[in-house]
Amino acid sequence: MSQVVLVTGSSGLIGSEVCLFFGRHGLTVHGIDNNQRAVFLGEAGDTRWNQQRLERELRGFVHHELDIRDRAGVLELVARLRPACIIHAAAQPSHDRAAAIPFDDFDTNATGTLNLLEAARRACPESPFIHMSTNKVYGDAPNALPLRELEMRWDFADRAQAHGIAEDFPVDQTMHSLFGASKLAGDVMAQEYGRYFGLPTCVLRGGCLTGPNHSGVELHGFLSYLVRCNLEEREYHVLGFKGKQVRDNIHSEDVARFMYAFFQAPRVGEVYNLGGGREHACSILEAFALAEKITGKPMRHTYVDTPRAGDHICYYSDLRKMQAHYPGWSITKSLEQTVAEIVESWHRRLDA
């Protein structure tokens, strides 16, 4: 059996973490990345530094400068490698940019995913295919749930959401943003290649995925960008909901650990809400306080009473299905530890 794992978006936060994690477990890692994040999000989103880190630190790592929209290139590479696992973490990741570049957004998030799925079906249909989706496939429907306002955050008011949003939450009749719609198209296609063709596919609907190797920018990368603003004493722009909007945060290493668990015991056409859960959720105001506690610097911010279209007021993932299917997996990195690692990483990068 092949001992190659193919990772798309290999220079990004999740992709690079997965490369290192699977490499430590004895697999030969091939990465696909063409630094499109810098094209989508500007110079601050550049991930070449992460590519260079992988080439320096990960023995046997092979980088492929390939755009997942290049169908012929994707089909040829997957046919040549016939990987034991494909982890698809490449994406156009921003709500706001999607509206400005709708063709690029859909071609990347939907058609790029289809290219990879069909390549897998033709070349290695027995290999697990793990697709990084997003909680934005639920659109703004979670905002219709009963909420209660606390001093520093919003929270769900109904006991039915005591553990957060589960995988059976509806995905239609709601506003997604164009990004959410393109990601939903790829999400459903990955499920269908599992259910229709029997491929061992897995869709991970991520919450706020974060960690020290994130090139966070204002349009994408909540905690990473917030920490950078704090360290550089920049103003952080809070958009609506009194700064009490809640996100669950999960360290990229815990994401990689779940992917490895699925690789070892794959299932067909599965969907999981992958986030930090209630225990690792925080509002923007609470994230300010945590950053200030760790850095000793005050958080400068301005408030605009206009939220982003389709933004969630409160969202955290119900992790019970994941934990039932993979009881050996759990979250190992606390929110405070995660923020501390992000602070340390930005110190290194900004001082370099």
Binned at pLDDT 50, 70 and 90, residue 218 comes out as: confident
Longest Cα separation, the chain: 56
b/e burial code for range 221-242 (CB count within 10 A of at least 16 → b): bbbbbbbbbbbeeeebebeebb
Q: Which domains does the chain have, with CATH numbers?
A: 4-351 (3.40.50.720)
Q: Which of 129, 138, 30, 45 is nearest to 92 (CA)?
A: 45
Binned at pLDDT 50, 70 and 90, residue 37 comes out as: confident
Between 216 and 253, the more confident residue is: 253
User: Kindly report the CA angle at 12 between 61 and 210, in degrees rounded to 5?
Assistant: 125
Q: How far apart are CA 228 and CA 248, in angstroms?
A: 19
The pLDDT of residue 219 = 67
Residue corresponding to tokens 């001093």: 151
User: Kindly report the CA angle at 93 between 91 and 95, in degrees rounded to 5?
Assistant: 140
Q: How far apart are CA 207 and CA 188, in angstroms?
A: 18
Over residues 24-51, the mean pLDDT reads 91
Sign of the alpha-carbon torsion through 202, 207, 213, 216: positive
Question: What's the chain's average pLDDT?
Answer: 95
Q: How far apart are CA 254 and CA 276, in angstroms?
A: 9
Does the pLDDT value for residue 158 go beyond 90? yes
Binned at pLDDT 50, 70 and 90, residue 39 comes out as: confident
**CA dist 122 to 76, 78, 193, 286, Å?**
11, 9, 12, 48
User: Kindly report the CA angle at 144 between 142 and 149, in degrees rounded to 5?
Assistant: 90
Between 219 and 282, the more confident residue is: 282
The pLDDT of residue 1 = 57
Q: How far apart are CA 309 and CA 202, in angstroms?
A: 28
Does the pLDDT value for residue 2 go beyond 80? no
**Percentage of the chain surpassing pLDDT 70?**
99
What would the pLDDT profile of 285-327 be if each residue is shown by its tens digit?
A: 999 999 999 999 999 999 999 998 778 999 999 999 999 999 9
Q: Look at 107-111, 125-129, 347-351 and tell me which has the smallest mean pLDDT.
A: 347-351
Length of the chain: 352
Over residues 107-112, the mean pLDDT reads 98
Over residues 259-273, the mean pLDDT reads 98
Binned at pLDDT 50, 70 and 90, residue 238 comes out as: very high
Does the pLDDT value for residue 274 go beyond 60? yes
Q: Could you tell me the end-to-end alpha-carbon distance of the chain, in angstroms, rounded to an integer?
A: 42
